Amino acid sequence: MEIKERILNHSTTLFMRNGIKSVSMDDIAASMAMSKKTLYKWFENKDQIVLATMDQHLGRVQGDCEAMAGNAATAVEEMMRLTTWAEQQFSGVHPSIFYDLQKYYPAAWQLFVAHKSTYILAQITQNLRRGMAEGLYRPDLDVEVIARMHLSHIDLMFNPDLLPPAQFTPQRVRRALDEHFLLGVATIKGHKLINQYRHVTEEE
């Protein structure tokens, strides 16, 4: 693995575990048993590392999402897979990640915002239209509104005022929001399929 990629992978692990602001260039170098001179040869400052890790992370997210969508038999299965994947992604993520990005690293934050408002929104929209075509989602959905409403759940998950991280883990919140979304858009046929995944039996 190239040195630059190793630095980015290691930095991502540190950021996810400890938050971004609390991790210094010294911390990154020390944890990799690397001299600061070598680290600064590849990145002039921490801002460059944060931006590069964000770009790398978003590329991986896009690849994972496309793989799940392509392999899912239905729109419901796609959403269930995404929920499980997201829970794994957010497991162990420091709750200050989004706050740190927005307040201290505007370039990386804008990269995330652009990705969210284009790629992620398109994926949600595509899933809604797919589910409607499959008869699993209601045919009368206002797709543009529902897609943006579901997109806003990303910000909601990391709102410490509404959902204090000490009380509500990202996995718990994500699971509840995704379940609420799916059950809200599903037809009776869709509900039955969702319940199969949830291992829930409801009376007709």
pLDDT tens digits, 164-181: 888 988 778 888 999 999
- Inter-residue contact 140 to 187 (CB < 8 Å): no
Q: Which homologous superfamily is 50-198 in?
A: Tetracycline Repressor, domain 2 (1.10.357.10)
pLDDT tops 80 at residue 8: yes
Half-sphere exposure of 46 (CA within 13 A, CB side): 19
Helix (H, G, I), strand (E, B), or coil: what is residue 150? Answer: helix
Residue 55: pLDDT band by 50, 70, 90 thresholds? very high
Query: What digits encode the pLDDT tens for the residues 116-163?
Result: 999 999 999 999 999 999 999 999 999 999 999 999 988 888 788 888
d(Cα 114, Cα 3) in Å, to the nearest integer? 28
pLDDT tops 80 at residue 91: no
**Smallest Cα–Cα separation from 90: which of 165, 186, 180, 140?**
165
Find the angle CA(169)-CA(163)-CA(81) to the nearest 5 degrees. 45
159's enclosing H/E stretch is none
Residue 84: pLDDT band by 50, 70, 90 thresholds? confident
What totals of helices (H) and strands (E) does the chain contain, helices first?
A: 12, 0
**How far is the CA of 30 from the CAs of 37, 39, 124, 142, in angstroms?**
12, 10, 41, 52
pLDDT tops 60 at residue 56: yes
Find the angle CA(67)-CA(125)-CA(92) to the nearest 5 degrees. 55
pTM of the model: 0.86
DSSP state of 109: H
